[in-house]
A and B are shown apart, each in its own frame.
Chain A
Amino acid sequence: MEVAVIAYGAGNVASVQFALERLGATVRLTDDPAVIAEAERVILPGVGAAGYAMSRLTELGLVEPIRAFSRPLLGVCLGQQLLFGRSEEGEGEGVDLLDLIPGTVTRLEPAGDLPVPHMGWSRLTRDRDDPLLEGVADGAYAYFVHGFVCPDGPATLARADYGGVVPAMVRSANRWGCQFHPERSAEAGATILKNFLGLSC
Chain B
Amino acid sequence: MTARRIIPCLDVKDGRVVKGVKFVGHTDMGDAAELAARYRDAGADELVFYDITASPEGRTLDYGWIKDIARLLDIPFCVAGGIRSVDQAARCLDHGADKVSINSPALERPELIADMAARLGSQCVVVGVDSRLEDGEWVVHKYTGDPDARRHAGKRTLDWLDEAQNLGAGEIVLNCIDQDGVRKGYDIAQLSAARARLTIPLIASGGAGAPEHFRDVFEQADVSGALAASVFHTGAIAIPDLKRYLADQGLEMRI
Chain A residues packing against B (C-beta within 8 Å): 12-15, 18-19, 21-22, 47-49, 52, 78, 113-123, 141, 143-147, 161-162, 181, 183-187, 189-190
- Distance, CA A136 to CA B95, complexed state (A): 28
Q: Which residues of B contact A (CB under 8 A)?
A: 1-3, 5, 45, 67, 70-71, 73-76, 93-98, 118-124, 170-171, 198-202, 224-225, 254
What A residues does B119 contact at CB under 8 A? 48, 52
- B contact residues around A14 at 8 Å (CB): 67, 70, 93-96
Q: Which residues of chain B come closer than 8 Å to A13, judged between CB atoms? A: 94
Give the chain A neighbours of B2 by CB distance below 8 A. Answer: 118-122, 144, 162
Would you mind naming 13 contact pairs between A and B with Cβ atoms under 8 Å apart? A21-B71, A22-B71, A47-B120, A52-B119, A117-B170, A119-B171, A120-B2, A120-B5, A123-B1, A141-B3, A145-B123, A184-B73, A184-B74
Contact between B3 and A120, CB atoms less than 8 A apart: yes
Q: How far is the CB of A64 from chain B (nearest CB, A)?
A: 25
Q: Is the interface of B mostly helix, strand, loop or mixed?
A: loop
Q: How far is the CA of A162 from the CA of B73 in the complex (A)?
A: 25
Known contacts A117-B200, A117-B201; is-contact A48 B75 (Cβ 8 Å)? no
The listed residue (A12, A49, A183, A190) touching B93 by CB distance below 8 A is A12
- In the bound assembly, the distance between CA atoms of A147 and B95 in angstroms comes to 23
Closest to A113 in B: B199
Once the chains are docked, how many angstroms separate the CA of A119 from the CA of B125?
A: 12
Extra A-B contacts (7), CB below 8 Å, given A122-B1, A184-B76 = A15-B98, A18-B70, A18-B71, A48-B120, A48-B124, A115-B200, A147-B123
Residues of A within 8 A of B45 (CB): 120-121
B76 and A181: CB pair below 8 A?
yes
Specify which chain B residues have a CB less than 8 angstroms from the CB of A113 in the assembled complex: 199
Residues in chain B near residue A187, CB distance under 8 A: 74
Q: Contact: A162 with B76, CB < 8 Å?
A: no
Among B98, B121, B171, max chain A CB count under 10 A is at B121
The complex places the Cα of A158 from the Cα of B174 at a distance, in Å, of 34
**Roughly how many angstroms separate A154 CA and B76 CA in the complex, as a whole number?**
30
Is there an interface contact between A119 and B123, defined as CB atoms closer than 8 Å?
yes
Q: Which of B94, B95, B123, B201 has its CB near the most chain A CB atoms (within 10 A)?
A: B123
Tell me whether A147 and B98 are in contact (CB under 8 A).
no
Which residue of B67, B98, B201, B225 is within 8 Å of A12 (Cβ)? B98
Instruction: Kindly provide the distance from the CB of B194 to the nearest chain A CB, expressed in whole angstroms.
Output: 12
Contact partners of A48 in chain B: CB under 8 A = 119-121, 123-124
Q: Which residue of B lies closest to A122 (CB)?
A: B2
* Contact between chains at A115 and B70 (CB < 8 Å): no
Contact of B70 among A15, A78, A147, A189 (CB under 8 A): A15
Contact A143 B76 (CB under 8 A): yes
C-alpha spacing A12/B71, complex, angstroms: 13
> Closest approach, in angstroms, between the C-beta of A163 and any C-beta of chain B?
8
A147 lies within 8 A of B122 (CB): yes
Residues of B within 8 A of A162 (CB): 1-2
Tell me which residues across on chain A come within 8 A of B1, comparing CB atoms.
114, 122-123, 161-162
